[in-house]
Amino acid sequence: MRTNQNVEQQTYSKVDRRLIPFLFLCYVLAYLDRVNVGFAKLQMLNDLSLSEAAFATGAGIFFIGYFFFEVPSNILLKKFGARIWIARIMISWGIISSAMIFVKGEWSFYAMRFLLGIAEAGFFPGIIFYLTLWYPSRYRSTRTAWFASAIAFSGVIGNPVSGIAMDTLSGRMGLDGWQWLFLIEGIPSVIVGVWVIYFLDSNIREAKWLNSEEKEFLIANLEAEDRRKHQVRVADAFKSWKVYVLSLIYFTLVIGLYGIAFWLPSMVNAFGVKDYLDVGLITAIPYGVAVLVMILLSRSSDRTGERRWHYALNVTMGCIGLILSGIFLASPVLSVVFLSVATAGVIGSIPLFWPIPSAFLTGTAAAAGIGIVNSIGNLGGYIGPNVTIWMKRISADPSAPLYGIAGIMFLGALLTIFFIPKTVNVKIDDCSRSEPTKQLNETLS
């Protein structure tokens, strides 16, 4: 006879094995296609006669298109189902990312980045919402960490791959290295997007790989949690002050995320590292550290049920890392060490943040609320690349952009402590002996 705990563990492990690796793969491709422009920049500026300011605008304009189409996309995901809508997103962004090879100058660069933002809008919050259809709150931080670790993993794998592509393929078939980079990292998204249609289930009831008892158990667990939440309509998500505070907090985090992602290759290149593969290998180090920190912190947050302080303290650690990397900018080794701390503070905080919005909202309102938070928050992706340009106009100190980003992120940490209520914390003891677990145990024993 199996214990309640074993039944629950085995059921969710089965869901984990089916969903998490596949969603992880999808997000690796998404993040690569979003930020590979930071690596392509090492060649694009000269080839297309782009200024640093033009690059920052093009890198950030992705998030303008993303902003306008984020909430509608997430609501359409709820309407059409995750399988169809996520496939649509991946196929369209893969095609547009590959088409970046046709960029000829400043305005075509802006146009393609804007279209890429429209195509990808809804993917990340859609997956966050999708996880709420399978896992109760007490399981989401760790699962979100496994999924979101794709951000760090894409840096670990993608940066060296980008370096190899630009080193070895430049000039082949009349294409420059940066063009090959966009092509070979865009086509896989189209292929996996087609795979989504055949592999992903939109909800628990569609899953043929679960038996009827397991389906009822998972559904009952979610329904039991939903009854403890405040039920809201889509309109309520737009009226909730908590949604906008969360949006502002996420906005500060995203400034740090893309401030680092878009400029890290250039910073390493400025250390005197000229070989593209070497740049890729060095820039992979901060992302590797971030993977470890992300998993450890998320497990701690799920185990204790505490969200706010985990998030705020880790973001603060990232701020300190940015400041120290600026102070020791003249020392490449120390600067990379502290940039690793900063990257862990940013990326490691993503899975700590996302269980918080889903603690307030359910159903379609959750899809809308998560979409609002992500769309407003991701406007920070426009600010992040431009902070470097703006800070250079204010101060001649080359470290000033790092200090500016650190200050913005620290503001987000303070907002989390003072404005996010303690009620987002999950009492593990109250949830671990759920009635659905007992019922399934009785059925299977």
21-56 pLDDT, tens per residue?
A: 999 999 888 888 877 888 888 888 888 888 888 888
- Give the tens place of pLDDT for each residue, 139-150: 876 787 777 778
Q: Pseudo-torsion of CA 152, 153, 155, 158, nearest 10°?
A: -160
Q: Report whether 97 contacts 199 (CB < 8 A).
A: no
Does the pLDDT at position 204 exceed 60?
yes
Establish how many alpha carbons lie within 13 A of residue 115's alpha carbon, considering only the half-sphere containing its beta carbon: 16
Q: Report whether 153 contacts 281 (CB < 8 A).
A: no
Task: Average the pLDDT over each of 101-105, 250-254, 375-379 and give the range with the smallest value.
Answer: 375-379
CATH number of 21-201+227-423: 1.20.1250.20
Q: Pseudo-torsion of CA 298, 304, 306, 307, nearest 10°?
A: 10
Query: Which among 228, 191, 276 has a CA at the least distance from the CA of 431?
Result: 228
At residue 271, the 3 state secondary structure works out as: coil
Number of helical (H) and strand (E) elements in the chain, helices listed first? 20, 0
Under the banding of pLDDT at 50, 70 and 90, the label for residue 378 is confident
Give the orientation angle of helix 241-270 with respect to helix 4-47, to 10 degrees.
50
Give how far Cα 22 sits from Cα of 127, 192, 201, Å: 11, 9, 12
Q: Where do we find the tokens 């159903």?
A: 363
- Give the pLDDT score at 304: 83
Q: Where do we find the tokens 């055949």?
A: 198
354 vs 327, residue with greater confidence:
327
Task: Average the pLDDT over each of 6-10, 354-358, 422-426 and give the range with the smallest value.
Answer: 422-426
Average pLDDT of the chain to the nearest whole number: 82
- Give the pLDDT score at 109: 92
Q: How much is the average pLDDT of 82-88? A: 90
- Give the pLDDT score at 441: 41
Q: Which residues are CB-neighbours of 42 under 8 A, at least 6 positions away?
A: 166, 178, 265, 266, 269, 276, 279
Token output for 259: 């401030």
For 69, list phi and psi in degrees, rounded to 5.
-110, 0
- Give the pLDDT score at 197: 92
Does the pLDDT at position 7 exceed 50?
yes
E strands in 246-373: none
Could you say which DSSP state residue 208 is in? T
Q: Report whether 366 contacts 234 (CB < 8 A).
A: no
Could you say which DSSP state residue 231 is in? P
Give the orientation angle of helix 332-347 with respect to helix 308-327, to 10 degrees.
160
Q: Where do we find the tokens 């979101």?
A: 148
Does the pLDDT at position 439 exceed 60?
no
Does the pLDDT at position 119 exceed 70?
yes
260 vs 100, residue with greater confidence:
100
